[in-house]
Structure 1
Amino acid sequence: MMPHANAILASLSASDAAALRPHLKPTHLQQKTVLYEAGDTIDSVYFPLGAVVSLVVTLATGETTEAAMVGRDGAVGMASALDGRVAMSRAIVQLGGDAMVCDPAAFSGAALQSQSLISRIMRHEQTLFAQAQQSTACMANHEVDARLCRWMLRARDLSGSDQLPFTQEFLAEMLGVRRTSVTTVARTLQEAGLIKYTRGKIEIRDVEGLREGACECYETVKEQHRHLLGELPSTN
């Protein structure tokens, strides 16, 4: 897959693209790989092509909740590479896939020479902050079934696939709920014909039905991205 499948790379000016191109290397991110923990030094900037990465908050008691999801719409570790290089949350590969990876020093050097790239980085960080805020409101106010519909649609948008290899345990961790809650909702969605669920794998069968069942946060996050960074590049 070519780098232009990533929205950030696709938006670069010719000069910015030329500055970064020698430093971009293709890689494959395996599902469940932890790219870094909160407090870790950022040693790579990732531009997902097919992979999807969750930015996760972990409590001292071990509970985890996803704050934001990044795929071909953005990058992981981009702002941290500019100053301090310290991760503020855990980054775990939610869906395995291809990505481009860049050395943080090389990325920082290119960015500090380009006002347009700095501006792009700032807008990207705004989208992540907006996602985290929306996730907080979503957890406090929306039911698990609506949140699960939203989450699956978002994962589908970023991966470009109707096949989502998720266990119920992983879904429960990302949503910050009990596994039994995910089991109940998944069964209901399957009985309604919206998904087909087998152990460790979800197949989305009715996208419009999921959209009707999702909370408003799905469209809100999409609109925030459109406003700040534009439309996602086509997967065709």
Structure 2
Amino acid sequence: MDSQQRSPNRLLARLSQANFDLVGGHLRTTQLVQSAELVAAGDDLVDAYFPHGGILSLIVRLTGGEATEVAMVGRDSVFGASAALVGPRALTTAVVQLPGACSALPVRRLKEAADQSTSLREILMRHEQAIFVQAQQSAGCIASHPAMARLARWLLRARDTSGIDELDFTQEFLGQMLGVRRNAVSYVATELQNRGTIRFNRGRILITDATRLKAIACECYATVQNELSQLKRGPLK
């Protein structure tokens, strides 16, 4: 079967036939609705999600109501692998940042498949490692890098994850995800627009020059991309 006939999700598309056969018959296509919460931290995760498009934000919510994004999951990965590896309890809250279709797979079936295939288990562990790298970089980024570099990094990652240049995000939402005030988002977005890298209006951002945006982004963008590139080298056995 051609990889793209299997699934638009790149992880599923690149599995070996043997590993895909362990899960393929149990996949169901569903729609990710913007702002929907798939699971709250501490709750049991029922399904693993393999996005075809759109973006899932993994966020940490504090008791004061603040929320900060620690990682994104999109068409190149999976959310819920940890539930199949170590148990169903979700460690972070998952919210749909951008809508799109996805393949959902019961966690219990993914666990059974991982128990049957050492190579599939290793693949899931590598994708969890990539999410962990994002979380590490996010913590360091918030602590050390200026807001403009962080916004540039975040927009590039959103572009890579979703595969589109036009992104529907309000300034309030971006402020929450980046851990800055809304007026700070407005200021740095205006600066990025003045530099010819983006255009934004009424909650919609269009990336017009990704090359310039990469030059502005902090080192965290390249670090995360390098880690993700390791997952894409050669067929997944």
User: What is the TM-score when the length of structure 2 is the normalising length?
Assistant: 0.94
Q: Secondary structure at the match of 2:164?
A: coil
Q: Check the 8 A contact 2:40/2:92 in 1, yes or no.
A: yes
CA distance, structure 1, for counterparts of residue 189 and residue 234 of structure 2: 28
1:29 aligns with 2:32: yes
1:11-37, CA deviations, whole angstroms, 9 ceiling, x for partnerless residues?
Answer: 311111112111001111011111111
Q: 1:195 aligns with which of 194, 198, 206?
A: 198
Q: Check the 8 A contact 1:39/1:86 in 2, yes or no.
A: yes
CA distance, structure 1, for counterparts of residue 196 and residue 86 of structure 2: 48
Q: Which moved more, 1:80-89 or 1:44-53?
A: 80-89
User: Partner amino acid for 1:230?
Assistant: K
How many residues align? The count is: 232
Instruction: Indicate the percent of aligned positions where both proteins have the same amino acid.
Output: 47
Unmatched 5+ residue regions in structure 2? none
User: Partner amino acid for 1:218?
Assistant: Y
CA distance, structure 1, for counterparts of residue 234 and residue 210 of structure 2: 18
Q: 1:66 aligns with which of 60, 66, 69?
A: 69
User: What is the TM-score when the length of structure 1 is the normalising length?
Assistant: 0.94
Q: Secondary structure at the match of 2:81?
A: coil
1:74-106, CA deviations, whole angstroms, 9 ceiling, x for partnerless residues?
Answer: 101112134420000110111111110001111
Q: Check the 8 A contact 1:42/1:81 in 2, yes or no.
A: no
Q: Post-superposition shift, 1:157?
A: 0.6
Q: Check the 8 A contact 2:84/2:114 in 1, yes or no.
A: no
1:174 aligns with 2:177: yes
RMSD: 1.6
Q: Secondary structure at the match of 1:28?
A: strand
CA distance, structure 2, for counterparts of residue 78 and residue 127 of structure 1: 12
Q: Check the 8 A contact 1:7/1:232 in 2, yes or no.
A: no
Unmatched 5+ residue regions in structure 1? none
Q: Which runs of 4+ in 1 moved over 2 A?
A: 1-5, 81-84
CA distance, structure 2, for counterparts of residue 3 and residue 218 of structure 1: 30
CA distance, structure 1, for counterparts of residue 194 and residue 210 of structure 2: 15
Q: Post-superposition shift, 1:232?
A: 11
Distance 1:5 1:221, change over 3 A: same
